[in-house]
């Protein structure tokens, strides 16, 4: 072999050795890229907390690259159906599960509160520059189809000098099974008993007037692009789209803007029961925003897949603690300390058979 040939041979061997060493040093990345050791969790449900859940899953994956969480915002009704059918690893809902929804589940499903949000009323009225003030009676009248014009006396009385136009009101509502709808109708039924008789309460109701849209995204898009419309949506969707939101007259008689402090105030006066779900609509408190709600992750107490169950339990523990620091920037209120303590006890009970996932937490 010539000197040149030997040199090429030696360089080739060196290159192979170098690549081999590099592969050994970065073995974790290589195996992860191959999909080895990766735990994939799939969830579906409420659109209400979707902006926050998306942030959480992204941040958690940065810290735990082997945990990949996919979440589909299909509405609370869909989330409940899919967790019962076990087509997802966790569900999500703003409206607590009912007994008749849980009866077909193969095991006990638990509610885990994750954050507190607000349902806001947004509208498209280019003529009105100040925030629209809405009383409970006026809001119920609009969504029952009894108040049909923007300059109706019941609206004008609360908004003197606002220049409300003599134009018809176009209501936009959710068509899918929606926790946002459940929260909103729960509130309207509390402040206007006739609403419960005429329209009802739940994730899906028969609205007497208006145009339907799917998801918080659909309602937001319809209101934003159509003058004269009014609709209800989770606060993050309205603010991220730079849409106006109404102030709502609360039980104390104050017109309150939806913001972190007023959402927090709505939860402070309500004790969380052992079930870990409750309504905080129309609460006491001078500063409380009246259409606020907890939202929940649904998880089986006894996981079918121990690996996935443990990964989910650890993610939920992180969400209840470190994850709360991301809430305010996305217009959600962090969980109260007393509620977090109850969540800790619930999560410590998650298991697969006799194995508890967080017994040492």
Tokens 């005429």, residue located: 198
Please say whether the dihedral angle defined by the alpha carbons of residues 21, 23, 24 and 25, taken in this order, is positive or negative. positive
Give the integer Cα–Cα distance in Å for 207 and 209: 6
pTM listed for this prediction = 0.87
Confidence of residue 10 (pLDDT cuts 50, 70, 90): very low
pLDDT exceeds cutoff 60 at 96 = yes
pLDDT exceeds cutoff 80 at 187 = yes
pLDDT exceeds cutoff 70 at 289 = yes
Give the integer Cα–Cα distance in Å for 93 and 46: 5
pLDDT exceeds cutoff 80 at 203 = yes
* Residue 95, CA distances (Å) to 59, 121, 127, 272 in order: 26, 19, 36, 15
* Residue 20, CA distances (Å) to 17, 25, 27, 31, 34 in order: 5, 9, 10, 14, 17
pLDDT score, position 25: 35
Fold match between domain 38-116+294-356 and domain 118-292: yes
Element (H, E) at 119: strand 109-123
- Closest Cα to residue 304, out of 74, 109, 103, 79? 109
Query: Is 173 in a helix, a strand, or coil?
Result: strand
Q: In the chain, how many H helices and how many E strands?
A: 14, 13
pLDDT score, position 4: 40
CATH match for 118-292 among 3.40.190.10, 3.30.930.10, 3.30.1300.10, 3.10.20.30: 3.40.190.10
pLDDT score, position 361: 72
pLDDT score, position 11: 38
Average pLDDT, the chain: 91
pLDDT digits (tens, 9 = 90+) for 311-327: 999 999 999 999 999 99
Helix%, strand%, coil% for the chain, nearest 5: 40, 20, 40
Which tokens go with 169? 């009101």
Give the integer Cα–Cα distance in Å for 119 and 330: 14
pLDDT score, position 20: 40
Please say whether the dihedral angle defined by the alpha carbons of residues 178, 180, 186 and 190, taken in this order, is positive or negative. negative
pLDDT digits (tens, 9 = 90+) for 251-267: 999 999 999 999 999 99
pLDDT score, position 36: 59
Q: Where are the domains of the chain?
A: 38-116+294-356, 118-292
pLDDT score, position 2: 45
pLDDT exceeds cutoff 80 at 17 = no
- Closest Cα to residue 149, out of 132, 166, 162, 126? 166
- Fold type of domain 38-116+294-356: D-Maltodextrin-Binding Protein; domain 2 (3.40.190)
* Residue 71, CA distances (Å) to 131, 132, 198, 261, 299 in order: 34, 35, 35, 28, 14
């Amino acid at each position: 072999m010539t000197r040149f040939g030997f040199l090429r041979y030696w360089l080739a061997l060196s290159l192979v050795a170098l690549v081999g060493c590099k592969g050994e040093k970065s073995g974790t990345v290589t195996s992860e890229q191959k999909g080895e050791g990766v735990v994939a969790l799939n969830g579906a449900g409420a659109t209400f907390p979707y902006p926050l859940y998306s942030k959480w899953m992204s941040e958690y994956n940065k810290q735990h690259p082997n945990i990949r969480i996919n979440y589909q915002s299909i509405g609370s009704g869909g989330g409940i159906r899919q967790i019962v059918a076990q087509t997802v690893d966790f569900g999500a809902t703003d409206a607590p599960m009912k007994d008749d929804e849980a009866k077909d589940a193969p095991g006990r499903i638990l509610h885990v509160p994750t954050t507190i949000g607000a349902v806001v009323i947004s509208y498209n009225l280019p003529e009105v520059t100040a925030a629209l003030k809405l009383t409970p009676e006026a809001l119920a009248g609009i969504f029952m189809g009894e108040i049909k014009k923007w300059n109706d006396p019941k609206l004008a009385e609360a908004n003197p000098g606002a220049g409300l136009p003599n134009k018809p009101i176009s209501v936009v509502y959710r068509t899918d099974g929606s926790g946002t709808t459940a929260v909103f109708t729960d509130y309207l039924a509390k402040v206007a008993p006739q609403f419960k008789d005429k329209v009802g309460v739940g994730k899906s109701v028969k609205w007497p007037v208006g145009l339907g849209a799917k998801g918080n995204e659909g309602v937001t898009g319809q209101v934003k692009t159509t003058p004269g419309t009014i609709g209800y949506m989770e606060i993050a969707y309205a603010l991220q789209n730079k849409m106006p939101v109404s102030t709502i007259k609360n039980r104390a008689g104050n017109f309150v803007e939806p913001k972190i402090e007023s959402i927090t105030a709505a939860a402070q006066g309500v004790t969380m029961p052992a079930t870990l779900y409750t309504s905080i609509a129309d609460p006491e408190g001078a500063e409380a925003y009246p259409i606020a709600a907890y939202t929940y992750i649904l998880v089986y107490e006894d996981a079918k897949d121990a690996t996935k169950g443990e990964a989910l339990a650890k993610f939920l523990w992180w969400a209840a603690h470190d994850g709360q620091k991301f809430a305010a920037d996305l217009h959600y209120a962090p969980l109260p300390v007393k509620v977090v303590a109850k969540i800790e006890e619930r999560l410590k009970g998650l298991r697969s058979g006799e194995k508890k996932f967080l017994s040492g937490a």
